[in-house]
């Protein structure tokens, strides 16, 4: 996992200068349904992401997280103030380690992710795979890929909850 984290940091640091922060038009209150509620997918992603890529603050500590697009990826910031900040590579690496840890398996092969998993972006989500052919298979059905990712995230979040 440490090697994967290092690779992500190196990739991100190399790309950050070319990335722009694109606000998705929402003001941190309404995320798609017009009622100020986050979608189930967004809620899962926030729970797995855990922290803001700019400040490292826990998402939700400054109100409803703000949905933004960073390159091909949709992520959440802790507040509007972060729209003016740069991505912190350390927080970026932590977020991607969180995503990989929550996903745990290649959605195609259903085997644990390797130490250095490949990844693809589908519908704004980073999805880790064991090999490039699996990434191509995921891209063939983006809706199913997103649904599978949500299932993996949900299973991971449930496993983290203390048992009563």
- Mean pLDDT across 135-150: 94
* In the predicted structure, residue 13 carries a pLDDT above the cut 70: no
**100-129 pLDDT, tens digit each:** 999 999 999 999 999 989 999 999 999 999
DSSP states of the chain as a string? -HHHHHHHHHHHHHHHTT--EEE-S--SS-SSSSSS---HHHHHHHHHH-B-TTT-PBTTBTBSPEEEEETTEEEEESSGGGGGSPPPHHHHHHHHHHHHHHH-B-TTT-SBPPSS-EEEEETTEEEEESSHHHHHHHHH-HHHHHHHHHHHHHHHHHHHSPP-
Q: If pLDDT is split at 50, 70 and 90, which confidence band does 91 have?
A: very high
**60-72 pLDDT, tens digit each:** 999 999 999 999 9
| Total of domains in the chain | 1
Q: Are the beta carbons of 107 and 145 closer than 8 angstroms?
A: yes
* In the predicted structure, residue 7 carries a pLDDT above the cut 70: no
Provide the residue range defining the domain that includes 59: 2-160
Rounded to the nearest integer, the mean pLDDT of the chain is: 82
The CB density around residue 49, as the number of other CB atoms within 10 Å, is: 20
* In the predicted structure, residue 11 carries a pLDDT above the cut 80: no
- Beta-bridged to residue 129, according to DSSP, are 118
pLDDT top residue among 26 and 68? 68
**45-63 pLDDT, tens digit each:** 999 999 999 999 999 999 9
- Mean pLDDT across 31-43: 67
- Mean pLDDT across 3-30: 40
Rounded-to-integer distance, Cα 11 and Cα 137, Å: 23
Q: Are the beta carbons of 94 and 102 closer than 8 angstroms?
A: no
Rounded-to-integer distance, Cα 93 and Cα 146, Å: 22
pLDDT value for 36: 54
**143-161 pLDDT, tens digit each:** 999 999 999 999 999 998 8
pLDDT value for 23: 47
């Amino acid at each position: 996992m440490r090697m994967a984290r290092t690779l992500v940091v190196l990739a991100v640091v190399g790309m950050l200068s070319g990335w722009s922060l694109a606000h998705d038009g929402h003001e941190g209150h309404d995320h798609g349904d017009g009622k100020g509620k986050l979608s189930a997918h967004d809620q899962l992603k926030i729970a797995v992401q855990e922290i803001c890529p700019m400040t490292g603050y826990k998402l939700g500590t400054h109100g409803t997280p703000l949905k933004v697009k960073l390159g091909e990826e949709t992520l959440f910031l802790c507040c509007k103030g972060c729209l003016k900040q740069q991505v912190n590579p350390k927080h970026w690496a932590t977020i991607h380690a969180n995503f990989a840890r929550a996903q745990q398996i290649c959605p195609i092969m259903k085997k644990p992710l390797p130490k250095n998993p490949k990844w693809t972006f589908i519908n704004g989500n980073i999805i880790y795979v064991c090999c490039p052919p699996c990434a191509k298979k995921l891209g063939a059905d983006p809706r199913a890929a997103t649904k599978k990712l949500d299932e993996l995230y949900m299973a991971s979040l449930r496993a983290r909850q203390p048992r009563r």
